[in-house]
Amino acid sequence: MVGKKTLGIMIMSAPFGSQYADHMCRVADRAIDMGYAVEVFLYGDAVHTQMNEQAPKLFFNVGEALKKLIDRGAIVNSCEICSVARGYIKGEKDGKKDYSSTKLIEGVRFTTIYGFVDMLARADKVISFGGS
């Protein structure tokens, strides 16, 4: 969007092993409130945040929060290779990209690490959560 600043966010940690995913969702939500366009890149174990029907009883529901971010206009990209490795998508079927899955929150997009580089180029500010 013209005139709107973009916040790029990379997250690399699984949603319930730490509070990085919680913090990421809250920062992204607040950035949208402040008028930022928000792009999120899920990498490594952070692709587990894209799983639908998460039902944590004692923790912040990251999947629900991520879906609300998408509904508010955030772009959420997930690493294709990380998602294939963890069984979220098939990757290829009959020589074509196949992102069909019943495990995913609707609205998550898939890209390679080059999509992350593209996000960096578009972002006015970048923040990273997690890692090993």
Instruction: Write down the domain spans for the chain.
Output: 6-129
Q: What is the Cα–Cα distance from 2 to 131, expressed in whole angstroms?
A: 32
Query: What is the topology classification, in CATH, of domain 6-129?
Result: Hypothetical Protein Ychn; Chain: A, (3.40.1260)
Q: Are 38 and 71 in contact (CB under 8 A)?
A: no
pLDDT tens digits, 64-101: 999 999 999 999 999 999 999 998 888 776 677 777 78
pLDDT of residue 101: 81
Q: What is the Cα–Cα distance from 55 to 41, expressed in whole angstroms?
A: 22
Q: How many CB atoms lie within 10 A of CB 62?
A: 26
CA angle 104, 126, 58 (to 5 degrees): 45
DSSP class of 97? E
What pLDDT band is residue 53 in, cutting at 50, 70 and 90? confident
Give the global pTM.
Answer: 0.90
Q: What is the Cα–Cα distance from 52 to 59, expressed in whole angstroms?
A: 15
Continuous H helices in the chain: 20-33, 62-71, 80-85, 113-122
Q: What is the Cα–Cα distance from 66 to 5, expressed in whole angstroms?
A: 20
> Quick one: which of 7, 79, 91 has its CA closest to 45?
79
